[in-house]
Amino acid sequence: MRASLAIAALLFSAAAQADRTAQDASARFPGVKALIGSIEGASVDAAGRFYAVDEQRFVDLQTGAVLFDTQAAGLPNTTFLAASRALRNGHFLVGDAGDHKVYEVVPGYKGKPRVRFQSDKWLQPNDITLSANGKRQYFSGMRWSEYQGDAWYSVGKGPLTQISNETTRPGVTLKRINGIELSGDGRRLFATSAHNEIINGGQKPQSAQVYSLDLDAAGRPVKGAKWRMVIDLYEAVGKEAALKSGLDPDGMRLDSKGIMYSALYGHAAVLAWDTNGQQGKKVELIHLPTIQSPTNLEMGGKDGRTLVVVGICKKQNPQEQDKACVDMIRVPNAGRAITDLRKR
Ligand SMILES: *[C@@H]1O[C@H](CO)[C@@H](O)[C@H](O)[C@H]1NC(C)=O
Ligand SMILES: *[C@@H]1O[C@H](CO)[C@@H](O)[C@H](O)[C@H]1NC(C)=O
């Protein structure tokens, strides 16, 4: 009796800690072959199916079906798709970093999509996060070589409004902003900030953090609120290893219990960390088997607990052309986005 209880307790704690191991998911998501090396903008729909974009197309990762082809739709060749998010009506928001627009895409519709947001003041947009009902939208963007970033929001049908880059530390602003994500209760916005330094004449990412900003009940930044650092990613990964590769955080997504998964573009890894509490806490660094440069990730599948990571494949030699790869990790909790999409 005692022994079996002890074994049960052991099994339970193992399940609770759920060792997260990544595996090659190319057989499960053969649609990845339809995308080129600039793959990013992973998203999930209410059924748990996965999608991603490359520069010109929005693709179903299960089948490779192209659901939106910017060239076929007659959009300019400056188009550069970077983000996608499922809406409750079965449509998708797809972000165009090149033309500074966000489209509402009806899968399979061949004409020009409706432009939902656009601004000449936008640096990109690079990524998007939505509130539980999809009616509040938050956008990130950056200019890599100038260390600059911007974050914007729109609530209800209100205008695009830029969010200040000031942090609680005087004189410190958010730098390159890439990953953006909203807490499950919609009251905290998270954004990455990364900084390059010039080393031997070339730029190298040398520091990166995630900051959070308090939002009011309407989803707007609380008056006077500033970004507060919640995790220093270089410290969390280990400074020496982090400096060697440069982390360059890209997309990040929360699960339904406040665990964040951050794609570390420079580090061939995903950092799982806990956003509950005042300071973020490292949970686990997950190395990727086939991806060298993860750009984005999302949780889905039947139970919402399959974390799919997309990015540039590992190479045999550096001259090889960039190709799109997909890895997957079984995680303990369902993703926030799919949990929200499944609420009625
Ligand atoms: C993009 O389109 C413009 C005209 O619309 C053309 O002049 C230019 O050569 C095109 N560039 C590429 C790379 O296809
Ligand atoms: C922060 O915002 C100010 C005001 O909009 C802007 O001038 C500055 O370039 C921004 N800093 C970065 C690093 O993006």
Contacts of 4 (CB under 8 A, 6+ apart): none
Q: 95 and 113 in contact (C-beta within 8 Å)? A: no
pLDDT at 13: 45
Q: What is the pTM of this model?
A: 0.93
Ligand 2 atom with least separation from CA of 177: 14
Whether the bond into 125 is cis, omega within 30 of 0? yes
Which one-letter amino acid corresponds to residue 154? S
Ligand 2 atom with least separation from CA of 162: 5
Kind and range of the H or E element at 5? helix 2-17
Among 256, 220, 252, smallest CA distance to 236 is for 252
pLDDT at 2: 53
Ligand 2 atom with least separation from CA of 174: 13
CA 40, CA 36: separation in Å to the nearest integer?
A: 10
CATH superfamily of 2-341: TolB, C-terminal domain (2.120.10.30)
pLDDT at 7: 54
CA 205, CA 149: separation in Å to the nearest integer?
A: 14
pLDDT at 146: 81
Token pair in block for residue 294: 């993860």
Residue 145: other Cβ atoms inside 10 A:
9
CA of residue 165 to ligand 2 center, whole Å:
6
CA angle 87, 89, 301 (to 5 degrees): 60
Per-residue pLDDT of the chain (344 residues; tens, 9 = 90+): 455 555 555 544 444 455 799 999 999 999 999 999 999 999 999 999 999 999 999 999 999 999 999 999 999 999 999 999 999 999 999 999 999 999 999 998 989 999 999 999 999 999 999 999 999 999 999 998 888 999 999 999 999 999 999 999 999 999 999 999 999 999 999 999 999 888 888 888 899 999 999 999 999 999 999 999 999 999 999 999 999 999 999 999 999 999 999 999 999 999 999 999 999 999 999 999 999 999 999 999 999 999 999 999 999 998 999 999 999 999 999 999 999 999 97
CA of residue 61 to ligand 1 center, whole Å:
29
**Pocket of ligand 2, candidates 121, 123, 148, 163: which has the most ligand atoms within 8 Å of its Cβ, to mutate?**
148
